[in-house]
Amino acid sequence: MKLTVLGIGSASPQVGKNPSAFLVSFSNEHILIDCGEGTQYRLLEKSIKVSRIKTICISHLHGDHYFGLIGLLSSMNLSSRKEPMTLIGPEPLLDILNVQFVAANTSLGFELNFIKTDNSKSEMLFENKTFSIETIPLIHRVPCTGYKITEKEGRRHLIPEKLPENFPVAFINLLKDGEDVTDPLSQEVFKSLDYTRKGEPAKVFSYCSDTAYNPAIVPIIGASDLVYHEATFTKELEARAEKTQHSTAEQAAKIAEAAEVKKMILGHLSSRYKTTDRHFEEAEKVSDRVEMAIEGAVYKI
């Protein structure tokens, strides 16, 4: 699993800091988290195949987090996409999209499977063989939900030297899936634990979009391999952060320490800050788990 940072800006436009958008990638599938204005251009710049995006998660309905969605879906439609898309987000999102499609006399040529979020609780909203998506309740001026994406433990690795010669391929796949196999002729039992070793461990990325300081999320994101957390302000504007229901760099770092995450990256800085120096200086006093998110960077998880 890897994370591509497409946008770490906040509400006001900033040169070099695009609105919120993050891409979680597996071997042949992408999850897009938030879709600020211009996200599809960021995808083009990164040579990312949009056809591999099968799931889109929107945290909340402030424009810098979803104004690029209608354009992206429209472009997918123009390219004759047929594969269904899973869209996860606040309940009014689907109505907003439908108004736009009706006004443009547009019908999507692919199925849009919508799953609404409930920011009052954490719940598992989606799961397949590769990953699961769990929500993280956040505190903001409008209903806002973060996302915890867990890539499941990889298939078990075969220990080939232990197997008899010409062992059937079908049986090998069963062993890798953790199943024991019985030879129909000899009735010999081949136990998966004896002939395989553990696959790649599960990996966890947690996305904490716009939110006031919220220690209640610590048990949910605990021990994540990578966390993105907003840090709109620095400490001297803590009162403003509380009023607008955002976080400071210090508060985000406290969350990182309490949750014992492996790494936390900070973004969504207010446009009043011309550099990230003050945020980093403030955060590193609290935690050495924290660093500043870099626009365009790719993080291996």
The residues annotated with a catalytic role in the active site are 64
Pairing of strands 189-190, 145-151: unpaired
Q: Find all residues with CB under 8 Å of 33, minimum gap 6, and list them.
A: 21, 22, 23, 24, 56, 57, 59, 147, 207
Count of helices and strands (H, E) across the chain: 9, 18
Looking at this protein, which amino acid is placed at residue 282?
E
DSSP 3-state of 299: strand
Pick the closest to residue 117 from 71, 42, 64, 66 (CA basis): 66
Q: Are 299 and 3 in contact (CB under 8 A)?
A: yes
Residue 220, both tokens: 């949910």
